[in-house]
Structure 1
Amino acid sequence: METLALVLLGFFAAGYFVLAGADIGTGMLAPHLGRDERERRLVIASFAPFFLGNEVWLIATAGLLVGCFPDLEGELLSGQAPVVVALLAGWITRDMGLWLRGRTGGRAWRAVCDGALVCGSWAIALAWGWLLAALFAGAPGAVATGPVAALTAAAVAALFAVHGLGFAAMRLTGAPYERARRLVGRTGPGKSFALTSVLMGGVPLFAGGGLEIGSYVADDATLGLLVPALLVITPLLVAVQAWTWHAFRHRVTRPSYL
């Protein structure tokens, strides 16, 4: 059961970084990709069908930590409190910008919401980099500091941005697509996204590999209850995610409701 719990934790964490990293990275680059109101709405439409489903993977990861690795979850929440607060603030800010930008017709309001989308996306990416810096150092109970932590946070944020760029180049049309394509270069959108997907999925796995996660595992009774339930739920989550990506596989040609 311990091995299955570890595999599920790595699966959900890697899945979140690959899937949610696409919409976070696209949001980080929204000012460059979309230069006017219609183009910005087109950029948002490229990831609008996915971002809520992608966030489910983070919720699943957090739930798995709480249930199967409670000591690690407690150490992370207490030791990484500033990072967690920054991550949640960025998450809330970004989602509020997405949900509220279409509530009124005012240009100033939409500009504020677009700013919330971009700033929130950058805050999420940098917060993940900050948290991963501590995990890379093998110290989940202490906030990472110093130039190495800053460089790690910047590198992870850059990876988010490049990952989102490949996704945007596969989804957009018109002028936003041309801007994304030029930044992707000769690699091509598909190859770029595939490469960054491997890197995005590998980052949390590499960070977790430096920890003695087995020492944080819950008792056998708890694992015996939770792991079988997760094994039933996981295929359903994967099926819904696959259906969503298949249903919205075509490039966007017009703005969405956001």
Structure 2
Amino acid sequence: MELTTVWFALIAILWIGYFALEGFDFGVGMLMPHLAKNEKERRVMYNTVGPVWDGNEVWVLVAGGATFAAFPEWYATLFSGFYLPLLLILVALIVRNLAFEYRGKKDSDSWRKKWDVALVVGSWLPAVLWGVAFANIVAGVPIDADKEFTGNLFTLLNPLGLLGGLVTASLFATHGAIFVALKTDGEIRHRARAMAAKLGLVTAVLAIAFMGWIQVKTGDTASAVAFVAAAAALVGAMAANLRGREGWAFIGTFATIALAVAGLFLALFPDVMPSTTDAAYSLTTTNAAATAYTLKIMTWVAVIFTPIVLMYQAWTYWVFRKRITTDSIPDPVPDDAYAGHPGAEVE
């Protein structure tokens, strides 16, 4: 197997890891207003992803770095052509991450509410835009003979792209609801399971329409098998959720995301960015790749460091594996508790 194919597969695996892990982080943030009814429950939801969200984001950083090193032409065309949506994703991620870091810095209800809004918006926007971006990458975009993107933001906001955004948003929300049910107990756990059941139906309808459209447009037998397996995994996840088997339900939505992303990359291969202007202008694993020497060095680096990263992240999940309840959350301090005290902050 050629190293260009190996690195295409490795980049696909990195995106699978990112969407399957960061997907439930997005889902928790997206569902915050619907699942948490008081401050203690909001704290519970923050704590479900608090120890792992930053580790989950590493996957997208490595995916971007690997694309830059292994397929520089792909990276250049992608990041120049998709500059605005990728910038919006980056800003949203920064705002979302600030919510994790700054929400607890001040004992104020209004302060916490502002950061809760930042978390929700910073979760919804990437969840939608990642779907828009990948739908366009797989279906193709206008690229000229110089390998330059000739469209604009509105080119990406086509019906297939928008459907892709709805699919990723609903799938991440379902994944997040099941993760909350897996990691909590009490009322919020039951609320999350009920929400997952409703979201799962919406996700199934949207996903079937999207995957069918992609399959008709660009797919082959391999991608069709992956898409069918993804649909079966989602059905299994919903069945497990209805029986209260949150662990199996989470494995099911994890597998759904993994298989769906794998199907997209299988539909894309051997292209990395198809051109709708002229097929001859498409970027492929061959004409967009770095030199063989570069790929060889990268392969040795990946062989050495990838197992270390995987073991560390697995250890993190194992350490923070227990359920979280409101009983372990202290009572919030109201705004007026500090009124009249030295050093009290007045809003």
| TM-score where L is the length of structure 1 | 0.93
SS across alignment from 1:139: coil
1:196 maps to what in 2? Answer: 253
1:159 maps to what in 2? Answer: 171
Matched, 1:107 2:105: no
Q: Would you tell me which structure has more helix in proportion to its own residues?
A: 1
For the residues of structure 2 that align with 1:252 and 1:88, how far apart are their CA atoms?
Answer: 30
CA apart distance, 1:88: 0.5
Cα RMSD for the two superposed structures: 1.7
Q: Which moved more, 1:199-208 or 1:224-233?
A: 199-208
Give the conservation status (yes or no) of the 8 Å contact 2:99–2:118: yes
Q: How does 1:55-74 map to 2 (within 5 A)?
A: 55-74=57-76
For the residues of structure 1 that align with 2:58 and 2:329, how far apart are their CA atoms?
Answer: 24
For the residues of structure 2 that align with 1:86 and 1:4, how far apart are their CA atoms?
Answer: 31
1:132 maps to what in 2? Answer: 134
Matched, 1:187 2:187: no
The one-letter code of the counterpart of 1:149 is G
For the residues of structure 2 that align with 1:201 and 1:175, how far apart are their CA atoms?
Answer: 30
For the residues of structure 2 that align with 1:87 and 1:65, how far apart are their CA atoms?
Answer: 18
1:243 to 302, 315, 332: 315
The one-letter code of the counterpart of 1:127 is L
CA apart distance, 1:59: 1.0
For the residues of structure 2 that align with 1:99 and 1:153, how far apart are their CA atoms?
Answer: 27
Change beyond 3 A, Cα 1:255–1:45: farther
- Stretches of structure 1 lacking an aligned partner (at least 5 in a row): none
1:168 maps to what in 2? Answer: 180
The one-letter code of the counterpart of 1:223 is L
CA apart distance, 1:103: 0.9
For the residues of structure 2 that align with 1:124 and 1:202, how far apart are their CA atoms?
Answer: 20
2:291 maps to what in 1? Answer: 219
SS across alignment from 2:104: coil
SS across alignment from 1:133: helix
| TM-score where L is the length of structure 2 | 0.70
Structure with more relative contact order (C-alpha pairs < 8 Å, separation 6 or more):
1
The one-letter code of the counterpart of 1:248 is F
Give the conservation status (yes or no) of the 8 Å contact 2:89–2:126: yes
Matched, 1:177 2:194: no
1:52 to 54, 75, 90: 54
- Stretches of structure 2 lacking an aligned partner (at least 5 in a row): 143-148, 198-238, 273-284, 331-347
Percent identity between the two aligned chains? 32
CA apart distance, 1:3: 3.0
Change beyond 3 A, Cα 1:255–1:235: farther
For the residues of structure 1 that align with 2:112 and 2:10, how far apart are their CA atoms?
Answer: 40
SS across alignment from 2:249: helix
CA apart distance, 1:60: 1.0
Q: Which moved more, 1:104-113 or 1:184-193?
A: 184-193
CA apart distance, 1:255: 4.1
Cα deviations by residue, 1:226-257 (Å, 9 ceiling, x for unpaired): 1110111110111011111111111113349x
Change beyond 3 A, Cα 1:255–1:78: farther
SS across alignment from 1:102: helix
SS across alignment from 1:218: coil
- Give the 4+ runs in structure 1 shifted more than 6 A: none
Q: Which moved more, 1:134-143 or 1:231-240?
A: 134-143
1:83 maps to what in 2? Answer: 85
Give the conservation status (yes or no) of the 8 Å contact 1:132–1:204: no
For the residues of structure 2 that align with 1:119 and 1:79, how far apart are their CA atoms?
Answer: 24
**Count of residues in correspondence between the two structures:** 256
Cα deviations by residue, 1:54-96 (Å, 9 ceiling, x for unpaired): 0111111111011111111111101111210111111111101
Give the conservation status (yes or no) of the 8 Å contact 1:130–1:149: yes
